[in-house]
Every structure is written in C-alpha cells, then in structure tokens.
Structure 1
C-alpha cells in the first residue's frame, strides 16, 4: 500500500468556496435563499442574487450580508431581473458582466408552477411554466457560459447547478391541483442538465441537477397544508422528517466546491427517499390552484 491511498490533497478545504463568484436566480426566498446562505458561509466572495421582485431581492441581500460568520469582504449583491424571456436574461447577464469579468458558479433556481384540474388547465399557464422552468434555464446557461468559461480549468471547473424536483422523476401532483407543466418542466430540466454536462464539460463547466422533495417554503406551504401539515408530511417520509435549509445549502455547497469536482451530469435527490416509495406524488409537489413563482 502506498501513500497515494491515504494522502488527500488539502482535504480540510474540500468544501471551501473561498474567493468564488456565484450567481443565483430566484434567490430571494426558499431554496435559493438557503443555497445563498450556505454558499456565502462556505467562503464565497460575492453572490449575485436575482429575482423578479426588486424589494424582495434587496431584503434577501440585507439578511445575507448580516450573517455573522462571513469572510472579510464577502457580500451578496442584488441584481433584480425577470428571466422569463431571453431579452430579460440578456439584461441580467449584462448587469452581472458590468460587475465582474467572470462567474464561477451559476445556480439556476428560478422556477414557477401552476395547479389546476385537467379540464381547466389553460395553455397560457402551461406555456408560462415551461418558458421559465426550461427555456429560462437553458437561456441562462447559454448566455452565462462565456463568463463561466473565463476561470474554469480541468483542476477547478466552473459549475452550474439546476434546481429540478423529484416531481420530474416520478408522477407529480394530480387531481384538482394538478401540476402537469411543473412535472414536465422539471423532467425536461433534468434531461437538459445531462445534455449540457456532456456539451459543456470539455469547456470546463460542470452541470448537475438537484431534485428536492417537499421543503417548507412559501412556494410549498400551501401544499403542506393540503397534505395535512408538517407532522403528517414528516410521518410519510422514510427519514421521518421534512427537509430543512441545511439540506439544500449543504448539497449546493458540495456540488460547487472541490468535493464535487468530478460530479457531472448527476441528478441528486434530496427528499429523504420519499419519491422511492410513492407511486404517485399526488398533492405533494407543485402548487395549489393558481400560479406560484420565484
């Protein structure tokens, strides 16, 4: 046995994001805010946070910049933008490009859902969800790619993390609050992440997807109530609990850091294993009647 088997290169720093510049879409609340908090506390230098509501974005940035254990000079920066169209994504990339010459990590987290029964499900609502959750993700990756390529290397590739959902792996919400577009869009986002992992890997950009289950957030709280509340949803989970912010933050930091530098095209579920025992996720994922958007 040689030292090669036991000697790890600077292992204590494997999950450090020291000096990294990160863009997070849909980051003003919920999973995006959990991710931003973890990324900053892992040592990132700057986190550019975007959401369609300028006030919500500014409030989130204020919370992040008042975290007690940030590295010297680390800060979150609000870059409000609606990424539902290519023109608006171009505007976002232009704003970020005026503040930095490169981006190390892109967390494509912005998304929307619509819940309504099959007979009443409108084409317009279906199209809005698909536009943001699929076209918006692809547009962000395509237009941010030049900034992501600037510092990516074989040893330290740039990263893209796409927020998908277990609803894209199993059957999503059906019945009166059916989320057909949400489930279809998240399945598309997962497959898109695999295609882009192969396309962008040679350019030193790794692309992975995360598939969260039910997390108590503003987007999901209505569903939690429909499913009987937090205690009931926890009981149904093999792990005996619902997701907590650290679950998302830790996973995103792992995929952004040196610890995740050989993960490419992966789809990591973070739901305690619930989707494995559910033939249908009916009622568990998506939105109540009407639109939900981040």
Structure 2
C-alpha cells in the first residue's frame, strides 16, 4: 500500500513559475504611474527588452534612464524609449516599426495609455468625451491589432504571448458622479475596454495570445492625484478599503508579472480587480 501511494505522488517544477526570463515587452503609457511600475516589475522579473512609450519624449527618456539603472535586472537587459502618441493610428504604426528595429517579436503588450476628464454632467464637453473614448478604447484596440503579428511570432500553445489592458473599478462599479470630478466618459471607456479584452481573448486565444484586463482602484499617481484629493486624500481613502490602504507600486507590478508569466497561463478574458476589497466593503454601508 505504501509503495502504491508513493507512486501516485507527482511533483512539478515551480521554481521559475513567475519568471519572465528573456521576454520582450511593450508598455504604452509607460513613462509614469502604473505603466512605469509595471515596466519596472517586468524588467526585474527577467525581461530582456522593455519598450516604453508615451507622448512626451523627455518623460520616456527619464523613465528609461531609471529603469536601466535598476541593479537587479538581468545582464544585458535594457529598456528602450520610443515616444509616440497612442491616440493616433499613424503613431501606433510608427511605434511598431520602431520596435521592429530592435526585435523581431514581442511576448508581452501592456496597453496602458489612457486619459480622464472631470466635469459637471450639464457642462461635460463633447470633445472631452470623445478624447477619453478614443484613447482609452479605440487606440487600445488598434495598438493590439498592429502588434498582433509581432505577438504571434513567438507564441505557442505551451508559451502564449500576453496582452494586458488597463481598466478601472470605475468600469465595474460607479465612477465619480455629481461634481466637477465626474468622469462619465472615463467610466464608460473603462467598462468598454474591459469588455473589449474579453472579446479579444476569444478572438486571439486560438492564435496563442492571451488577453486580460486589470481594474485598479485608487493608486497614487499624477492622473489620479486630483480625484484622490477631492475624495479626502490617501489616508481617508485607505480607511475605506477592508485591507486599510490604497494601492501600492508593488501591487500593480506583481499583478502584471503574474499575468505575463507561466503562472498566469490559464487566465484569459479575465479582469483582476486591485482595490483592496473596497467594492465589496461598500456593500456593508
């Protein structure tokens, strides 16, 4: 009996289950905030090349300089600065061509570029609504579409390429309402991009490309700073979550690394919510 029981025990090698050794990644909106934290996580998890893009060249260059100074990245691993305006199709196409100058494939695409706009309901301008929807939804679709050939090249059933999109808890529950910070277009765009990810997961899964969404709650960042201040600041917002704090850099970095690693290989069409349980905690009120 003991010999028979021993024969049924089979252990697997999990030593590198979260490793991204040698992977090539592209992060849009990667020069600050959640994008930069994620790029840092990708490099520290083993990526050999991480391409950073956002509209401002100076911001991209500064971010890349900091990334390349990381002491614990792999030997010869490198971040690259490629400024581009993700709201324009021509710029997305140029971005792909610039990336192709350095690599013949991409393993990871994090479509993170985004914008918000706050205004009273009766005063919300059409131009602002259109800008937010274009950048947060349309440009995400075309960024994925244009990078798909590079993502397909290394992709296999056993090692699929990964696409991540940045949503928000505002795309799942209510966003800011009723005052000058009200973000109707932003909330609608984040609901749309998370559902876009689900559709693309089904479309691209057979091509060995997995697509998932991340829905952050409050994380201190330049884009969120005004809204967080209007809602009482970091300390007050932290107390509203069951875990007692707002998001940290390591929370987003760890989630991105997980989803892009072997450990996240069976996640497809999913949304990971990073809000410390705040949405569920609100049900107690």
| TM-score (ref. length: structure 2) | 0.95
1:70-115 CA-partner distances (Å, limit 9, x unpaired): 1100010001000102111111111112221100000000000000
1:14-37 CA-partner distances (Å, limit 9, x unpaired): 000000000000000000011001
Q: Which residue of 2 aligns with 1:136?
A: 139
Q: Give 3-state SS (helix, strand or coil) of 2:117's partner.
A: strand
Tell whether 2:93 aligns with 1:90: yes
In 2, Cα distance between the equivalents of 1:64 and 1:188?
Answer: 32
Query: After the TM superposition, which residues 42-121 of structure 1 pair with which residues of structure 2 at under 5 Å, given as runs?
Result: 42-121=45-124
Q: Which residue of 1 aligns with 2:276?
A: 272
Query: After the TM superposition, which residues 221-232 of structure 1 pair with which residues of structure 2 at under 5 Å, given as runs?
Result: 221-232=225-236
Q: 2:248 aligns with which of 244, 255, 258?
A: 244
In 2, Cα distance between the equivalents of 1:122 and 1:2?
Answer: 69
In 1, Cα distance between the equivalents of 2:108 and 2:7?
Answer: 33
In 2, Cα distance between the equivalents of 1:164 and 1:275?
Answer: 15
Q: Which residue of 1 aligns with 2:201?
A: 197
1:173-227 CA-partner distances (Å, limit 9, x unpaired): 1012110010000000010000000000000000000000000111111122111
Q: 1:40 aligns with which of 23, 39, 43?
A: 43
Q: Give 3-state SS (helix, strand or coil) of 1:155's partner.
A: coil
RMSD, aligned CA? 1.2
1:109-144 CA-partner distances (Å, limit 9, x unpaired): 000000000011011100000000000100000000
Find the structure with the greater CA-based Rg. Answer: 2
Q: Give 3-state SS (helix, strand or coil) of 1:24's partner.
A: strand
In 2, Cα distance between the equivalents of 1:230 and 1:144?
Answer: 37
In 2, Cα distance between the equivalents of 1:243 and 1:6?
Answer: 38
In 1, Cα distance between the equivalents of 2:142 and 2:7?
Answer: 46
1:237-258 CA-partner distances (Å, limit 9, x unpaired): 1110111000000000000000
Q: Which residue of 1 aligns with 2:151?
A: 148
Q: 1:178 aligns with which of 163, 166, 182?
A: 182
Q: Which residue of 1 aligns with 2:223?
A: 219
Uncovered stretches (5+) of structure 1, i.e. residues with no partner: 280-294
Q: 2:23 aligns with which of 4, 20, 23?
A: 20
Q: Give 3-state SS (helix, strand or coil) of 2:15's partner.
A: helix
Q: Give 3-state SS (helix, strand or coil) of 1:132's partner.
A: helix
Larger RCO, structure (CA 8 Å, separation 6 or more): 1
In 2, Cα distance between the equivalents of 1:72 and 1:180?
Answer: 45
How big is the shift at 1:278?
3.4
In 2, Cα distance between the equivalents of 1:258 and 1:2?
Answer: 28
> After the TM superposition, which parts of structure 1 deviate over 4 Å for at least 4 consecutive aligned residues?
1-6
